[in-house]
Amino acid sequence: MHAATREELLTVDGDRLWASLMALARIGATAKGGVKRLALTDLDRQGRDLVVSWGREAGLAVTIDKIGNIFMRRAGRNPALAPVVSGSHIDTQPTGGRFDGNYGVLAALEVVRTLNDRGIETEAPLEVAVWTNEEGSRFVPVMMGSGVFCGAFSLEHAYAAKDTEGLTVREELQRIGYIGTQEPGDHPIGAYFEAHIEQGPVLEDAGKVIGVVPAVLGLAWYDCVVTGMEAHAGPTPMPLRKDALLVASRIMQETVAIANRYPPYGRGTVGMVQVHPNSRNVIPGQVKFSIDLRNVSEALLTTMHTELLAFVERVRRESGLPIELERVSYYPPCPFEEGCVAAVRAATQALGYPSMDVVSGAGHDAIYAARVAPSAMVFVPCKDGISHNEIEDAKPEDLEAGCNVLLHAMLGRAHRVGNG
């Protein structure tokens, strides 16, 4: 992209983008200003229907696959080319916000609307994607639609997933009318871009408008159980105790220490702890807790894993207490394709927005899209870094800026035809 002033470059309609976001946010709106629109509920159907109606109004051809992923196509001059796709999800957490996922879908739609307004053609088709059940708050696994699409798990496995009431994904997709006919993964993707609020405080803290995302952190989740013996807190001398919490706390502290040894992207978190019998005057007899390790490279994440295992073994020997450690989930780090990242960076620079590289600490559909197509992400700040919360917020001007970057990154990849 040649250097140009922001005024010379094509830009989106920020007011229209904001209005669309607010209209979608009314479906499942909560009293605190957030959104509760769980996957495959009646509210999800209403949200899907609204977005699809907007797509049809913009002249887009709609395709739905068997896991309910929606693809809305704007034709290109060369229909033989695989489309440049952008999107995200519109399902939310039970106490979700107005922007997580929704922004990525509606930013992609705004790109299409802007090109329509200006009569601009592209060589390759453009598509807006709406992925099914990204949040995983009603059905697991998370990122279900994109996961089935890229072959991370089977359609049958996803169909069989049940919510707390015993309803299956297949039944609910059928009920809301979004079980399509296309085989997941048969839909070609030439390149994939996803715009998203950062869901963290880095951009806001640095005073930057755009985050160029070169990668997503890999993560390893563990369940740990330390077993001691319950005893009375008064009569039992300290040297004779088998205190499961005392031993567990050493492992918890080491989890944080391991992360601190591998900056800047090392992460170590203990988020869930269950103490038995959880009584004020009883020495804990068993502690179950979670461990979450993350880093940007597979080598570093493997090193952190190895150090955790070695420390647990050492504590087991020193304490004499049984300790069980099981890795229950693993997502490798996801580096995005250099060409797509470069397209985001070039668009940001041409538009003159303050920017920085931000490695994503959260999972996104782009992780699975990256398995089948060159991919990248665009981040914009969110207030106080808060997300998965009803008070989640973002500035209209930042959302517009991110959409402008998305527009030019997609145009660069789809090869704009003429000046419009």
- Tally of structural domains, the chain: 2
Indicate whether 187 belongs to any domain. yes
Instruction: Check whether residue 314 and residue 339 sit in a common domain.
Output: no
Instruction: Check whether residue 206 and residue 225 sit in a common domain.
Output: no
Instruction: Check whether residue 197 and residue 340 sit in a common domain.
Output: yes
Instruction: Check whether residue 205 and residue 323 sit in a common domain.
Output: no
The token duo for 158 is: 């996803």
Bridge partners for 226 per DSSP = 287, 323
Indicate whether 284 belongs to any domain. yes
Bridge partners for 375 per DSSP = 192
The token duo for 180 is: 């399509």
CATH number at 23 reads 3.40.630.10
Instruction: Check whether residue 228 and residue 212 sit in a common domain.
Output: no
Residue ranges making up the domain that contains 249: 218-331
Instruction: Check whether residue 68 and residue 183 sit in a common domain.
Output: yes
- Which pLDDT value is given to residue 418? 62
Instruction: Check whether residue 161 and residue 238 sit in a common domain.
Output: no
Residue that finishes a domain, picked among 313, 331, 349? 331
The token duo for 398 is: 């930042």
Please indicate, yes or no, whether the overall pTM of this predicted structure exceeds 0.85: yes
Residue that finishes a domain, picked among 268, 298, 331? 331
Kind of pairing, strands 84-88 and 126-130?
parallel
- Which pLDDT value is given to residue 319? 98
The token duo for 56 is: 């049809």
Helix-helix angle 14-25:396-414, to 10 degrees: 110
Instruction: Check whether residue 224 and residue 208 sit in a common domain.
Output: no
What's the alpha-carbon Rg for the chain, to the nearest Å? 24
Instruction: Check whether residue 324 and residue 341 sit in a common domain.
Output: no
Residue that finishes a domain, picked among 331, 346, 376? 331
> With contact defined as beta carbons under 8 Å apart, do 73 and 85 qualify?
no
Overall residue count recorded for the chain in this entry: 420
- Which pLDDT value is given to residue 4? 45
Instruction: Check whether residue 167 and residue 47 sit in a common domain.
Output: yes
Mean pLDDT by groups of 10 residues along the chain of 420 residues: 55 98 98 98 98 98 98 97 98 97 98 98 98 96 97 97 97 98 98 97 97 96 97 98 98 98 97 97 98 97 98 98 95 96 98 97 94 98 96 98 98 80
State the Cα angle at 192 between 142 and 140, rounded to 5°.
5
